[in-house]
Chain A
Amino acid sequence: MSDAPILEVENLQKKFGGITAVDGVSFTLETGKITGLIGPNGAGKTTTFNLISGFYKPTGGTIRFNGTDTQEIMRPSSAERSIWTGASASSIGILGIGAGRVLFGASPSVLAGGAVVGAGAGIGLYLGQGAYRNRSEGTKHSRPFQLAQQGMIRTFQITRELTEMTVLENLLLAPQGQMGENIVNAVVRRDAVAEDERQLREQTEEVIDLLELNHLRDEEAGNLSGGQRKLLELGRVLMLEPDLVLLDEPVAGVNPSLTDRIMDAITSMRDEGYSFCIVEHEMDVIMEISDRIVAMAEGKKMAEGPPEEIQENQQVLESYLGG
């Protein structure tokens, strides 16, 4: 466990048309700690999460995850870019051959020329559209899966579970780098995939036990209650081994005894070295569990500090009463 913060947010800003949802927020999340993010409704907490996890492109500011700019992490690899370039070059190249053939007849030199011109046009087209996009949308990337691969996992405030899939499947989906997710393996190396899958299932059963979802394992997630959905989202996180977990109101609608158990689970995970950032409205819960608190209001950071300090903070209390 190093002392460097796992996440540093600097001057983060997000505008939606006229609304500035997040307005120059800076804070850091310390490694191996639980940080609470609080604030009245509409303060910009969810938006901040969306920015950190890469679902939104920030209008300004930087986010560093484990010391690396998240924009850097999400940048498409050069291999990917060359695939795109190659694909457009070859497809337009084929058009070029066709055009050459139609326009000038079928001599080899014409066809070759057509191919070259077409491929050139294809590359040009691809670069051109890239440049156009950069100009109109900015050079920011939004590729959350790459952040997730680096170990940053988030849940959603309005739960997003796969409604047409069972609880079991929802959980089985989560782990990364499953062997059978490769279509070739799925067909060719069936035994290895089955073995992989068996281990996964064992792990899943543990999570299901922990969340007390046993009786629902074959229920479609769409039929769960709000609290159960929250649990399922959390379960997906537990299936992974992330460095940083962003939880957006994880226990809203969950009964108190289960809330306690979840909080226990989170604390013990923290003790194993995971880092958390939790948005929560239940003051008792968040104050108890958090090592630090960041308080937001109207898109701005209002206060930051240990829970005891924040509880005394006049501004924070006011904003909650007023909001």
Chain B
Amino acid sequence: MATADILVSLVVLAMFYSILSLGMNIKYGHTGLLDFGHVGFYLIGAYTAALLVIPADVGGPSTVYLFGLDLPWVVGVLAAMVVAGIVGAIVALPTIRLREDYLAITVLGVATIFQRIIQAETWLANGPDALRGITPPLIDKFPVDGQSTLGLVLIALICGTVWVLTTLGLGRIRETLAEADRSVVGGATDTLYAIGLLGTERVLGTERMGDSTGENVSEPTTIGSEATTQFRMSVLAGGIVAVATAILAGISTRGGLLAVGTIISVYTWLVLLAGINSYANFDGMDYVATLALGTGYMLALAPMYYLDSLIIWLPLTLGAFAAVIGGTVYLRRNWSRFSARPFRYGLFIGVWFGAIWYFPIQVLTPLLDGNLMSAATTVFNNVVWMLSFSGQTPQVGYSRFTLFLFGSILLVVLYLMELIVESPFGRVLRAVRNDERVVNSLGKDPFLYKIQSMALGSALGGLAGALAAMYFQVLVFTMFAPRVTFIALLIMFLGGVGNNRAMIVGAFLFWAFQTATTELAGFVATDLRTNFQAFRFVLMGLLFLLILYYRPQGLMGERSRAEVSEQ
């Protein structure tokens, strides 16, 4: 698998886990309902979608299931949400009045019952064996290379969406910079933003460009109008990109695709850089220090790569790790800037680590062999992540389509959830979390709101499940262990409890960690691999405890309400 594919699959996983955690966040973050059985609704969504879209007779004698309706995915996904939502409400009806700990345990029990039903009832969904034969939408059309009309349309769609998402992200970054009043860094970002908008601000923009020193305060009456304008501009820019892509790729399949893919990929990388830069707000010293640490961690792993004998590499690796960790701790203790914002520095070390892995490490072998051409190709392929290459032919693979699809869904879901959370309805939910009795005394039935919250959160869980069915194409009951709930919780606490956008951050951090450790596990001796994989869960648990203790509000914390109401 090309390294870019690993990156893409990381992003895709993070996307549907974001949705899963958004559901958890609605329940716990906004309403205060601790649902340890969240995985149950994920399961319901996954199996509902699977049974609706699977053809009636795909399995042959070895695969038995209740029915396969061969319906389109749209129906499957929507049905998954509806069914999961309804089941969520039904489960909530009797349990929601219980004390929080009873509630958590009871719904955990319910989720376990769901899982056991799937496991035991062979007629339902192939029992303990995997349910196979789930075909994701349009997969037979891929990879596309722009030679057919459908291919062109798909590519244009994908490219346009990626552009919209990236530009939206960039807009957020710019806002953050403007708020922090860091116009020096903002200069480059603004230029990038101007490029990203492709001039659409001339058509739609009410907003002043290029000067981020104050005056950005919008009227408090028009809630979110600025955001809407941004959204429109980004979408228009995306549309332009889509059309341009179609034209270019239509004119010259190879050259056009290559050009568009390169431009979009480079744009995303630049935006990513801008984002990291704006978050970090580093100066030269910081960059050097974190780069040194990131490289140090990578080097510490080196003995594991290159030495075969466990007896030799284990102590070496551990020793090297002890050294770099010691260095980190020393820095944290003695360098005031480091200790003030440890998460920022930690993230940055992680970014360096990832960057080193993504670029230099991948070409180490060809470089050492003196094969410069191959090394350059690899680097190029990794940079132009949009395209996958079959030999010399640039293509857009199915995973990019999944990325586009999930990204759009995530965006829509996030938008809707923000709407809901910022509405008076969301206000009542937060009031329920704070103190039910007040809500009660003001003539609102807390019970009703809790049920709705459960239904909504569970529906999101169901949606995530449907997407999981689409992504994995195979469902086994073991995929729905309570561990999934744990991960959703972890993501929620990692990002920020009660903060929808933070779910995405949390999901990305989690899957970055997962991917990194999976890659590492590849270098561990085979017989120790399971131990290693267990070990990373230990690390994860410890990390969780540390977060719960030192930052129970999560890395990003809840968005300040004052800030929200100012908009």
Contacts and interface: CB of A to CB of B under 8 A. Distances in A.
A55 B442 CA distance: 12
A15 B459 CA distance: 44
A165 B443 contact: no
B83 to A, nearest CB: 11
A179 B439 CA distance: 16
B180 interface: no
A87 B434 CA distance: 29
7 shortest interchain CB distances as A-B pairs: A148-B443, A180-B424, A186-B423, A218-B562, A162-B434, A149-B443, A180-B423
Contact of B428 (A98, A102, A173, A198): A173
B33 to A, nearest CB: 16
A44 B445 CA distance: 27
Contacts of B9: none
Given A145-B444, A153-B441, A168-B565, A162 B431 contact: yes
Contacts of B223: 194, 197
B443 A162 contact: no
B318 interface: no
Interface string A131-172: 000000000000111111100011010001111111011001
A102 B565 CA distance: 55
Interface string B430-451: 1101110111111111100000
The dominant DSSP class at the A interface is helix
B425 A162 contact: no
A317 interface: no
B282 to A, nearest CB: 31
Contact of A186 (B90, B420, B430, B558): B420
B450 to A, nearest CB: 13
A86 to B, nearest CB: 11
Interface string B213-246: 0000000010100000000000000000000000
A176 interface: yes
Interface of B: 90, 93, 121, 123, 221, 223, 416, 419-420, 423-428, 430-431, 433-435, 437-446, 452, 456, 558, 561-562, 565
A79 interface: no
A116 interface: no
B434 A187 contact: no
A318 to B, nearest CB: 34
Contact of B442 (A87, A169, A176, A197): A176
A321 interface: no
Contact of B425 (A181, A194, A198): A181
A161 B420 contact: no
Interface residues of A, number: 52
Given A180-B424, A181-B444, A186-B425, A173 B431 contact: yes
Interface string A182-226: 110011001001101110000000000000000000101000000
Given A145-B445, A240-B442, A180 B430 contact: no
A63 to B, nearest CB: 16
A252 interface: no
17 contacts: A55-B441, A145-B440, A148-B441, A153-B443, A156-B437, A160-B437, A161-B435, A163-B434, A163-B435, A164-B430, A164-B433, A169-B561, A176-B442, A176-B444, A181-B444, A186-B419, A240-B443
A148 B442 contact: yes
A315 interface: no
A183 B425 contact: yes
A117 interface: no
Contact of A145 (B430, B431, B443, B452): B443
B562 A87 contact: no
A178 interface: yes
A169 B221 contact: no
Given A180-B424, A181-B424, A182-B425, A162 B435 contact: yes
Given A164-B434, A173-B439, 14 more contacts: A55-B440, A106-B123, A143-B445, A147-B443, A162-B430, A172-B424, A173-B431, A178-B424, A180-B423, A187-B419, A193-B424, A197-B424, A218-B561, A240-B443
A297 to B, nearest CB: 27
A35 interface: no
B496 to A, nearest CB: 13
B456 A183 contact: yes
B442 A165 contact: no
A101 B425 contact: no
Contact of A154 (B426, B427, B441, B565): B441
Contact of A160 (B221, B438, B443): B438
A174 interface: yes
A268 to B, nearest CB: 22
A31 interface: no
Contacts of A182: 425
Interface string A73-93: 000000000001001101100
Given A84-B93, A190-B419, A218-B562, A173 B427 contact: yes
Interface string A237-273: 0001000000000000000000000000000000000
Interface in A266-298: none
Contacts of A162: 430-431, 434-435, 438
Nearest to A151: B443
Contacts of A90: 90
A230 interface: no
A138 B31 CA distance: 30
Contacts of A176: 442-444
Nearest to A53: B441
B221 A198 contact: yes
A90 B424 CA distance: 32
Contacts of B434: 162-165
A300 interface: no
A53 B441 CA distance: 8
A172 B442 CA distance: 11
Contacts of B419: 186-187, 190
A57 interface: no
A14 interface: no
A301 interface: no
A220 to B, nearest CB: 8
A214 to B, nearest CB: 14
A45 interface: no
B97 to A, nearest CB: 12
A33 interface: no
Contacts of B427: 165, 169, 172-173
Nearest to A55: B437
Question: Which of B423, B428, B439, B446 has the most A CB atoms < 10 Å from its CB?
Answer: B423
Contact of B565 (A161, A190, A218): A218
Given A53-B441, A160-B435, A181 B428 contact: yes
A166 B444 contact: no
Nearest to B455: A183
Contacts of A173: 424, 427-428, 431, 438-439, 442
Contacts of A153: 441-443
B76 to A, nearest CB: 20
Contacts of A161: 435, 438
Nearest to B448: A145
Contacts of A145: 439-446
